Amino acid sequence: MAQERLQKIMAQAGVASRRASEEIIAAGRVTLNGRVVIEQGTKADPLVDEICVDGKPLVQAEKLRYFLLNKPLGYVTTVSDPEGRATVMELMKNCPERVYPVGRLDYNSEGLLLMTNDGSLAQMLMKAGNHVAKTYQVKISGKPDERTIAKLRAGVNIELEDGRKVKTSPAKIRLIEDRPNPWYEVILIEGRNRQIRRMFQSVGFLVEKIKRVEFGPLKLDVPPGEFRSLTVREVAHLKSLATNAKP
C-alpha cells in the first residue's frame, strides 16, 4: 500500500474526521513508530508502520472487497448449513478477507453471485425493489405458449415460503433456444426466494435449470467454482445503481 497522510489513515480507521484528526496530531497525541508526530504532512503505511493515538495502536478498518463468483450446482448460498451441505464460503477460501454472498442462488441453481464484505452495499442491493436487473438462462420442462409467456411478462401471483401471496413485477422474457424443453432468457428487477421457479410453476410449468449470467453491470465470465475481483468501474457502477434505486 502506498503511504498516506496520517490524518487520512486515522479517518479511515474511524478515529475521527480528517479535520479532527489534524487537531489530534497537532496536540501531540499521535506517535509513528514510537515517535511523537505533530507535522500535518507526515505520511505512513498502515500495513507497515505502528501508529498510536493516545498510546493505543490504530486498528485499521477491514479493507472492502468485491468478487464475482460462478456458483456451481450443489452449493448453498449461506455461510453455514445445518444439513452439512457444501456452501459458497468453501469456494472463497483463498480470499484475503472474509466475504459474504449478496442475495442467493438456491442449491440447484448456478451462475453469477456477488461476494463482498461491504455490508452497506449488500443491504441496498438485496432490497427486492432496488430495480437492479438480474439476467437468467432458464430451461423449462415442457413448452409454454406465447400467451403463457405474456402472463409471466406482465406479472403473476406467487406464494412465498411464509405463505404470503404477492404479484411479481413485470419481467423481460425471450426464447433463446427452441426445443421441446426450451431455454428462455429471463430478466428480473426483483429477487424473491425461488422466484423464477414459483413464476413458472404458477402457470403450470416446472423449471429444470437456472443459471444467472448478469447482475447489474456484472457479466458471468469465470469458470464454475472460480471467482475474480471486481474492477473499480464495476464497483462504482454497482454503488451508483444501489444509491439511485427506486424505493
30 and 53 Cβ atoms separated by less than 8 Å: yes
Known catalytic membership, residue 106: yes
CB–CB of 114/213 below 8 Å?
no
Tell me how crowded residue 4 is: count the other CB atoms within 10 A of its CB. Answer: 15
The set of residues, in sequence order, having a beta carbon less than 8 Å from that of 154 and lying 6+ positions away, is 170
Candidate list 106, 118, 178, 221, residue with the active-site label: 106
The CA distance from 24 to 15, in Å, is 10
Task: List the beta bridge partners of residue 228.
Answer: 68
CA-CA-CA-CA dihedral for 223, 224, 229, 233, to nearest 10: 70
Residues with catalytic function: 106
